Amino acid sequence: MAVAFFAPAIQAQDVPDSATFRIRPTFGAGVGMFAFYGDIGRSHEGYDPLLSRLGYRFRAGAPLTRWLDITLFGLFGRVGANERSLDRNLNFESRVTTGGLLLTYNFHQLLHPARVVEPYISIGIEAIEFVSKTDLYDAEGRRYHYWSDGTIRDMDEHDPNAGLAIRLQRDHTYESDIRELDLDGFGHYAERTWGVPMGIGARMRLGGGFDLRIGTELHLTGTDLIDGVTVDSREERQGDAKNDRFLYSSFSINYAIDTQRKKIKRTKGPTLSNDALDQIALRDDEDQDGVSDMHDACPHTPPGTKVDQHGCPLDGDGDGVPDDIDLELTSAPGAIVDGAGVTITDEDMLKAYLNYKDSANANIVSSRVESIGPAPVAVKKRNKRSYVVQVGTEVEGISEDMIDRILSIPDVRTIVKGDTTFYVVGDYAAIPEAVRRELALTQQGMPGKVMAEENGALIDVADEVAKSRAAMGEGAATSGTTPGSGEAIVRVQLGAFRHRLSKDIFAGIDDLVVLKGDDGLTRYYTGSYTDINEAAKRKVDMLLRGFNGAFLVAFKDGERVSLKEAGAQLTGREDLDAVPEGTIDKSLVRYRVQVGTFAGNVPMDVMDRFLDIGDVTPVTSADAVRYYYGSFTDRAAAEEARNMIQQKGLTDAFVVGELGGRVINADEADRILSGP
């Protein structure tokens, strides 16, 4: 190394200019090993400082002079120690994070200017933060007891039942926070301090602005609490009066940015007079379109293209496609066109999208334009009374014939109260309107009963209905029209399932209709359309949400009918008697651990635990923010993570399921994964 420092025969790849001094900002990253010197393991017999815990360092610096650098650095990793003896058995591990400022001297005055390797010494100041823990229990929660024969057991050596003690092996998982244990009565002390790092090492230039640094630093801290043991500790835990120290031995790769601009070599060539240059600038026409380059707004026009006075291709309809290649010269203003200038219609875009998704064996009916039936509107929360027609209830299950009759009504919806499902039609502000609808449904073979709906509850208003009937007279039944009468209604069946699914799975589907048949299958439907194309689009949306079994079904006048009768062109045979069981895309199912719910700010101690755990993400809802950890494909891994989180102090953590980003019950996720 001395030869490298002083011998002029060894030339550096980047030799600094002796006549000028340049500031070159330097950035680097390195890895090294920590060694702890404190109260635990202070004897250090047979201790090797290079065989310890890893640490990582990042630095950014710049030279102040040829011989003095200033550096900002950040260092993080873990330090720890273990002590085993007849008198004392202690261990700890601490997560250490430091940041500070270093001044580095490189012995420039004593070394050759063309050196490749140079030694250095450094000193600085730093802020240190630490979180210390100890290993007191094994993975099954059994406390370690150290016996005089050198073994570790699950009972004290002097316990009356010591003969039944089981031998243990330390799992080296540091689960117990030393400050929270408060074994020596120090209370809630600060886990941060100041320190002075002092280092020595060598720097080797690698060329191209890179260098390699190898060195070691002793960090003198201002606290004796990193290992949780001080001179004031109790009984056999008592340590010495010295503050804790740790050594960091490392190597790093650094890169120096050259801030001096390189001179561009210019070659001498023929020169032109100012008049000649002016003539070239004024008359040059690179694309030969008749407009000089100085005034040409569209350079590089293809040869032979007709242009306007600005040198741009003629475009009569302003659609962005030049007239010489425009197949539709009179496109409407603002129309979307393809590369040939032909207008792209809404029907074209819809057809391309549905063909891509292979929707429902149904082709677009291009020649048919009509108004659609009741659009799926989000069900708003009713804060005032309205009137509906109750057409049925279900507790144990209803017949297939009744299901078809209910689904033939376009505006039917369900209200679930406990174990009972009510099927209601309409939403009327006055009783007479509801009575007319009831009479019309009765004439169609679907008797019902007028009820009041208020805040999601059905209320019997038989007396008011009777008075209204008397006032309306016998002609009420024939007045007005019934929505959907004589028309085919197309719905999207999301599937038929053996077990009723959680409503969380259908979050965001506000027009959901749920019917349980007497065959034990619970059917789920969404949408109510008279246009097969709109129904097909709705089916595509449901497929993208993970309902793999979604398909289109049509109903008319109380019966299920063919999609062909609803306006579709089928590419295969349709079985009207088939009731395929639904499936949900299992690849969308995940498990997560909910670690907390807060309506306001998260307490600092809880936030510290979140940071310690890592991978905690917030999900905002209307009333609070919920925090989740991880994303697992099986329940067992999620439960293992939950146990780990509970050991870290978040005892209320529990496992939830997730389907396509929607949180569901974990048991519901189990049923989905175990289903067909």
Q: Are residues 392 and 300 in the same domain?
A: no
Count the helices and strands in the chain (H runs, E runs): 11, 26
Domain boundary among 527, 561, 595: 561
Beta bridge partners of 413: 424
Mean pLDDT by 10 residues, the chain (676 residues): 36 43 86 92 60 89 93 96 88 96 94 91 97 94 92 93 92 93 93 97 93 96 95 90 94 89 60 66 71 78 81 82 82 81 74 49 36 37 75 77 84 81 87 87 84 84 85 60 70 80 78 81 85 84 79 83 72 55 75 84 79 82 81 89 88 87 82 77
Cα distance between residue 415 and residue 423, in whole Å: 7
What pLDDT does residue 298 have? 85
What's residue 375's pLDDT? 36
Cβ-Cβ contacts under 8 Å for 651 (sequence gap 6 or more): none
Contact present, 424 and 413 (Cβ < 8 Å): yes
Give the dihedral sign, CA 386/391/396/400: negative
Strands 26-37, 245-256: pairing is antiparallel
Give the Cα-Cα-Cα angle 511, 517, 520 (nearest 5 degrees): 120
Query: H or E stretch including 540?
Result: helix 532-544
Out of 561, 576, 609, a domain closes at: 561
Is 162 a member of any domain? Answer: no
Residues linked to residue 551 through DSSP beta bridges, in sequence order: 493
The CA distance from 598 to 487, in Å, is: 51
Same domain membership, residue 225 and residue 323? no
CA gap 593, 106 in Å, rounded: 53
Token match 């016996």: residue? 147
Q: Is residue 421 packed enough to be buried (19+ CB in 10 Å), middle (13-18) or exposed (0-12)?
A: buried
Structure tokens at 285: 């026409």
Model confidence pTM above 0.85:
no
Residue 159 lies in a domain: no
Please check whether residue 226 lies inside any domain of the structure.
yes
Asked whether 521 and 527 are in contact (CB, 8 A), the reply is no
Backbone torsions φ then ψ of 419, nearest 5 degrees: -90, 0
> Which of 546, 561, 576 is a domain's end point?
561
The pLDDT, as a whole number, for residue 50 is 52
Pair 427, 492 in one domain: yes
Q: Are 524 and 582 in contact (CB under 8 A)?
A: yes
pLDDT at position 359 = 41
- pLDDT computed for residue 2 by the predictor: 37
CA distance linking residue 399 with residue 278, whole number of Å: 92
User: How much is the pLDDT for 20?
Assistant: 54
CA–CA separation, 257 vs 207, rounded Å?
12
- Whether the Cβ atoms of residue 402 and residue 519 lie closer than 8 Å to each other: no
Q: What is the pLDDT of residue 379?
A: 43
Give the span between the Cα atoms of 107 and 576, in whole angstroms: 92
The answer to whether residue 427 sits within a structural domain is yes
Please report whether residue 522 resides in a domain: yes
Containing 277, the helix (H) or strand (E) segment is helix 274-283
pLDDT of residue 409: 86
Tell whether 507 and 648 lie within a shared domain.
no
Please list the residues that pair with 218 across neighbouring strands. 198, 247
Which residues have CB under 8 Å from 192's CB, separation 6+?
127, 128, 129, 130
Q: Which amino acid is at 398?
A: I
3-state secondary structure 364-421: CCCCCCCCCCCCCCCCCCCCCCEEEEEEEEECCCECHHHHHHHHCCCCEEEEEECCEE
Question: Do 202 and 329 fall within a single domain?
Answer: no
- Backbone angles phi and psi of 636, in degrees to 5: -60, -45
Q: In what order do the strands lie in the sheet with 513-516?
A: 513-516, 522-529, 489-497, 551-556, 559-561
| Separation between Cα atoms, residue 535 and residue 490, nearest integer Å | 6
Euclidean distance between CA atoms 491 and 536, whole angstroms: 9
Give the E-state strand segments of 535-653 in sequence order. 551-556, 559-561, 589-598, 616-620, 625-632
Domain carrying residue 295: 288-344
297 and 248 inside one domain: no
Q: Are residues 201 and 336 both part of a single domain?
A: no
Say if CB 638 and CB 593 are below 8 A apart.
Answer: yes
Q: Are residues 480 and 599 in the same domain?
A: no
Looking at the domain assignment, is residue 188 inside a domain? no
Residues 404 and 333 in one domain: no
Cα–Cα distance measured from residue 447 to residue 424, given in angstroms and rounded to the nearest whole number = 12
Q: The domain that contains 453 carries what CATH number?
A: 3.30.70.1070
Neighbours of 559 (CB within 10 A): 13
Angstrom distances, CA of residue 405 to CA of 399, 423, 488, 557: 10, 11, 12, 7
Structural domain tally of the chain?
Answer: 4
User: From the CA atom positions of the chain, what is the Rg in Å?
Assistant: 40
Residue 365 belongs to some domain of the structure: no
503 secondary structure, DSSP code: G
Domain match, 76 and 202 both:
yes
Give the separation between CA 151 and CA 153, rounded to whole angstroms: 6
In this structure, the answer to whether residues 221 and 92 fall within a common structural domain is: yes
On whether residue 273 sits in a domain, the answer given is no
Looking at the fold, whether 556 and 408 belong to one and the same domain comes out as yes
Task: Output the CA torsion 547→549→554→558 (10° steps).
Answer: -90
Give which of 108, 151, 102 is closest to 122, Cα–Cα: 102
Which tens digit of pLDDT belongs to each residue from 144-171?
Answer: 999 999 899 999 999 999 889 999 999 9
How many beta carbons lie within 10 A of that of residue 150, not counting itself?
8
**CATH label of the domain that carries residue 87:** 2.40.160.20
